[in-house]
Chain A
Amino acid sequence: DADVTQTPRNRITKTGKRIMLECSQTKGHDRMYWYRQDPGLGLRLIYYSFDVKDINKGEISDGYSVSRQAQAKFSLSLESAIPNQTALYFCATSDGTQGTDTQYFGPGTRLTVL
């Protein structure tokens, strides 16, 4: 089984709808991250969490919210989706005890907002 899983893998939704992307990990890592990737813009950090009680905004957090339900689960919500949130979304984890910030990514969620 994959160490970092994301659901759903693909989602098509309409403008104004609320949507939640979920991430689970079995690596036992304390740190989790959400990124979006757009062609030509690379990976951009949306939110990150260093433990269950620690949530931080990344460079593009507007329009998004997150919830860290447990060490293994980190969810990303779009409260009212808009077309420019169409992108590939990745969850990642890292082991904060290692000090290197090496990250392990999930398979991604392709989100289309019509």
Chain B
Amino acid sequence: SQKIEQNSEALNIQEGKTATLTCNYTNYSPAYLQWYRQDPGRGPVFLLLIRENEKEKRKERLKVTFDTTLKQSLFHITASQPADSATYLCALAGGSSNTGKLIFGQGTTLQVKP
């Protein structure tokens, strides 16, 4: 079955450092990979989308890479700030077996300390 794995342990880093979160998947060939941010008790918010034929995507301090051979995406936040503290979810979409739905990972919680 399709499976997405994100590090379930919280990631703690110091303000100003780069945070790197990992998303691995198996038994799936997605057309898109998406990253969402979720604050406690609130709905996820879409951040970035990367397509299967793209290696890297950037938006301000965010960078996403997508390696379809390794079946892995890395999500980077550069110059991290305490306001970046949240849970980050990756989600897969597209592909022949999953039209119209997203498959979400469980999320990794990031804590940025001042």
Contacts and interface: CB of A to CB of B under 8 A. Distances in A.
Interface residues on A, range: 20 to 34
B86 to A, nearest CB: 14
Contacts of A52: none
Residue among A103, A106, A108 with the highest chain B CB neighbour number at 10 A = A103
A41 interface: yes
Interface in B1-54: 8, 32, 34, 41-46, 49
B100 A31 contact: yes
Interface stretch (B55-63, B64-72, B75-83, B101-109): B101-109
Contacts of A42: 89, 104-107
Interface residues on B, range: 20 to 34
Interface string A25-68: 00000010100000011110100101000000010000000000
Contacts of A106: 43
Interface of B: 8, 32, 34, 41-46, 49, 89, 91, 93-94, 100-102, 104-107
Given A43-B44, A43-B89, A48-B101, 20 more contacts: A4-B43, A33-B101, A40-B8, A42-B89, A42-B105, A42-B106, A45-B101, A50-B100, A58-B101, A90-B44, A99-B94, A101-B32, A101-B100, A101-B101, A102-B49, A103-B44, A103-B46, A107-B42, A108-B41, A108-B42
